[in-house]
Structure 1
Amino acid sequence: MLCPDWSLPGPLLALWPFRIDVWREQARPIQRQLTDFLVEVQAHHPVLMGVHPRELSRASRFLPTTIQTIPLRYNDAWPRDIGPVWTQTPSGIQAHDFQFSAWNGLYPNMAADQTFVRELSARFGWRRIAHQTILEGGAVNSNGAGVVCWSRSSIERNNGLNGASSVARSRIQQALEKTINATHHLWFNSTYAADETGGHVDNMAQFLTPEWLAIDTNVRQSDAAILAQLPTSIKILELPPTCSFQPSPGLFSSVQRRAGVMRRGSKPLLSSYVNFVRTPTAVFVPQFGRADDAEAVRLIRSAVPHLAVVPVAADEMIAGGGGPHCMTLPLPLLHRPA
């Protein structure tokens, strides 16, 4: 069974951003925003910051002493997509190590990202199962009670199935469903042109609790047939619509151009309230400076009054192509010292 985020009792992992060909102003604004976010989370749940070895000195001067760090090798700061997909079995939690293609080639230097699960699993002694299929963590989520949401467009694109036969597409769908055992598999077809991932489900639909599925309100119409497949026990919470917007021309002027790396600012930015982070006792709702910010918080509070609902700034996160959910990964308990 695929583990929902809130079922994992270990710390919430983030990765120190440092790429100057992705993040503006030498990555200082995103470093501040991610650190502020982790401080908010730490009031409710343990956190852990992975830091590339060559950045340890800089990060140690910047980060509060309350935030624990560990050295890890990676190419960019998206642990959700380069990290393991967790399943619960009778023998314990397993780390599924799927292939990674940097979202179908957004940057060419991905060797450390491709070995990230192996390094993380070895460090903490988790059982790792390797797969040949490309699957990013943002492309799948579960309520922990038998319902799993998938991103059809992203998964098919990453595995070279655009234009492939229905038989080939069905084959990979069946293989993934066999790996992630569930009673209901919902394959969302929606995508946004501004979504660099090719249509991750964590910008469209994400479980808030076993009974609540939060969706971008656009999904109600675009994937109505998929939502109709939900068990009757699942309630739908419609959040304000995901929006794309063109940033100001000067926003990315400080980002270094590198061959093969997608030019920042060449595509609109995507802001989705569905890209929230859920820990066992709290929900952290992204805020973008939009008129809908407060309404997204209000709606989530109304659905889960037993949880703390915390608004967190995410404008710098989406400038790099993701959001709070993309930039974090919940972990099982750490059985070995970091």
Structure 2
Amino acid sequence: MNDTDIATERRTATPAELGFSMPAEFAPHDACWMLWPQRPDNWRYGAKPAQAAFVAVARAIAESETVFVGVNDDQYENARNQLPSRIRVIELSSNDAWMRDVGPTFLTHPDGRLAMVDWEFNAWGGLNGGLYFPWDKDRRIRQKIAEVLGIERFITPLVVEGGAIHVDGEGTLITTEECLLNPNRNPDLAKPEIERLLCAYLGVEKIIWLPRGCFQDETDGHVDNLCCFVAPGEVALTWTDDDSDPQHAISREALGILEAATDARGRRLTVHKLPMPGPLTIAETEASGVDRLSSSRPRQPGDRMAASYVNFYIGNSVVVMPRLDPAHDDEAHAILENLFPGRRVVAVDAREILLGGGNIHCITQQQPRV
């Protein structure tokens, strides 16, 4: 029996009991994992514009660390020819391209071991508001990556997506009630039980609950679109001063909770406001390029998108942020430069990713250094 078999069979000890925990994203990485977009009912024009955006993100992160891009077999040659040779392209079938949510949550151990949490995945709500069907290939991704890396895999029945959680690496986790307490995720679990499981599988000690995620976020309010840790005791928060915009009340509510909170080490949090782009909506030409299928979420002209500059990726030497709105791009870039003085901030045109329902953080998953 190999290590993966042992990890799969283990039911008595949790990762936290064994000394594992989830590092912060700003801690050193060994690699970044991504997937390749192709489904025509989510990405317009056969995903060609989205593929170009994914290539730009992968190029930027590859300055900083190894990048793996998983592709379906029928897209392997296309992806290999578009991506630089230093980026590793592997056959890894998926239903769509959101590695943050369908990929593993990596854990590390003080003795140098790497492991992962294999959450349950139901495509952001299953048959009760989920975004597509089926999601069978997505559910196998974590097991495949565990076998590629030869690491322990801790299986949990808790439905959690990677974008629903942010940690500081020092015992604190931030999430939203809108997502993890949604009846389409874990209807049989109360809040205290979900907290217990998060602590047991991620090695955290304190959970800060924000009520809601960004306005009309189709993931049911993922925290990574609203708020994230940028350093121990410091968070970035999506913000708008326009009190007529629905996002204003959401961000103001979150600000009050964050400023009143302390982390697992007893520190008060410093909150850095990042301006909200837009509001941004889907254009007629953008909606018309998407196939309409009953098994996936429709893209309608005029629909507001949950655009956020908080949805960036922190690499070893770069921070890759979305370029979304000329009115706010430069301001957001400057704020991130101040927050990450030791990293180069790279802005990537990301509207094509946003049109698919997420952004740069949503399509990436860091593998921590051990």
| TM-score, with length taken from structure 2 | 0.83
SS at match of 2:175: strand
Q: Which runs of 5+ in 1 are unaligned?
A: none
Name the counterpart of 2:253: 222
How big is the shift at 1:274? 0.5
Partner letter of residue 221 of structure 1?
Answer: R
Matches within 5 A, 1:96-135: 96-104=117-125, 105-135=130-160
**In structure 2, distance between residues paired with 1:90 and 1:333:** 11
**In structure 1, distance between residues paired with 2:277 and 2:190:** 31
Matches within 5 A, 1:194-209: 194-209=216-231
How big is the shift at 1:101? 0.8
Relative to structure 1, is the Cα distance of residues 193 and 239 closer, same or farther in structure 2, using a 3 angstrom cutoff?
Answer: closer
**In structure 2, distance between residues paired with 1:263 and 1:298:** 35
How big is the shift at 1:203? 0.8
Give per-residue Cα distances to partners, 1:188-214, cap 9 Å, x unaligned.
112234201000000111111224211
SS at match of 2:154: strand
Relative to structure 1, is the Cα distance of residues 220 and 261 closer, same or farther in structure 2, using a 3 angstrom cutoff?
Answer: closer
Q: Is 2:107 aligned against 1:87?
A: yes
**In structure 1, distance between residues paired with 2:232 and 2:362:** 21
Decide whether the 8 Å contact of 2:259 with 2:270 is kept in 1.
Answer: no
| Alignment RMSD | 2.1
**In structure 2, distance between residues paired with 1:112 and 1:2:** 25
Decide whether the 8 Å contact of 2:261 with 2:269 is kept in 1.
Answer: no
Decide whether the 8 Å contact of 2:146 with 2:153 is kept in 1.
Answer: yes
State which drifts further: 239-248 or 193-202: 239-248
Name the counterpart of 2:276: 241
Number of aligned residue pairs: give it: 330
Relative to structure 1, is the Cα distance of residues 52 and 139 closer, same or farther in structure 2, using a 3 angstrom cutoff?
Answer: same
Decide whether the 8 Å contact of 1:150 with 1:185 is kept in 2.
Answer: yes
How big is the shift at 1:238? 0.9
Equivalent residue for 1:291, pick from 327, 339, 354: 327
How big is the shift at 1:160? 4.6
Partner letter of residue 72 of structure 1?
Answer: L
Matches within 5 A, 1:137-148: 137-148=162-173
Name the counterpart of 1:5: 25
Name the counterpart of 2:290: 255
SS at match of 1:250: helix
Q: Which runs of 5+ in 2 are unaligned?
A: 1-20, 240-247
How big is the shift at 1:243? 5.0
Q: Is 2:340 aligned against 1:304?
A: yes
Partner letter of residue 225 of structure 1?
Answer: I
SS at match of 1:236: strand
Partner letter of residue 111 of structure 1?
Answer: D
Matches within 5 A, 1:148-187: 148-157=173-182, 158-161=184-187, 168-187=190-209
Q: Is 2:53 aligned against 1:21?
A: no
| TM-score, with length taken from structure 1 | 0.91
**In structure 2, distance between residues paired with 1:317 and 1:175:** 32
**In structure 2, distance between residues paired with 1:197 and 1:131:** 20
Decide whether the 8 Å contact of 1:203 with 1:242 is kept in 2.
Answer: no
Equivalent residue for 1:50, pick from 70, 78, 96: 70
Q: Is 2:232 aligned against 1:210?
A: yes
Give per-residue Cα distances to partners, 1:162-220, cap 9 Å, x unaligned.
xx8xx823322332233223233111112234201000000111111224211112465
Q: Is 2:352 aligned against 1:331?
A: no
Partner letter of residue 186 of structure 1?
Answer: I
**In structure 1, distance between residues paired with 2:167 and 2:81:** 38
Decide whether the 8 Å contact of 1:243 with 1:272 is kept in 2.
Answer: no
Please list every run of at least 4 consecutive aligned residues from structure 1 whose deviation after the TM superposition is greater than 4 angstroms: none
Decide whether the 8 Å contact of 1:13 with 1:330 is kept in 2.
Answer: yes
Give per-residue Cα distances to partners, 1:292-326, cap 9 Å, x unaligned.
11101111112222221111211111000000000
Q: Is 2:308 aligned against 1:272?
A: yes
SS at match of 1:207: strand
Decide whether the 8 Å contact of 1:220 with 1:227 is kept in 2.
Answer: no
Matches within 5 A, 1:59-78: 59-78=79-98
**In structure 1, distance between residues paired with 2:224 and 2:83:** 28
State, as a whole percentage, how many aligned pairs show the same letter: 28
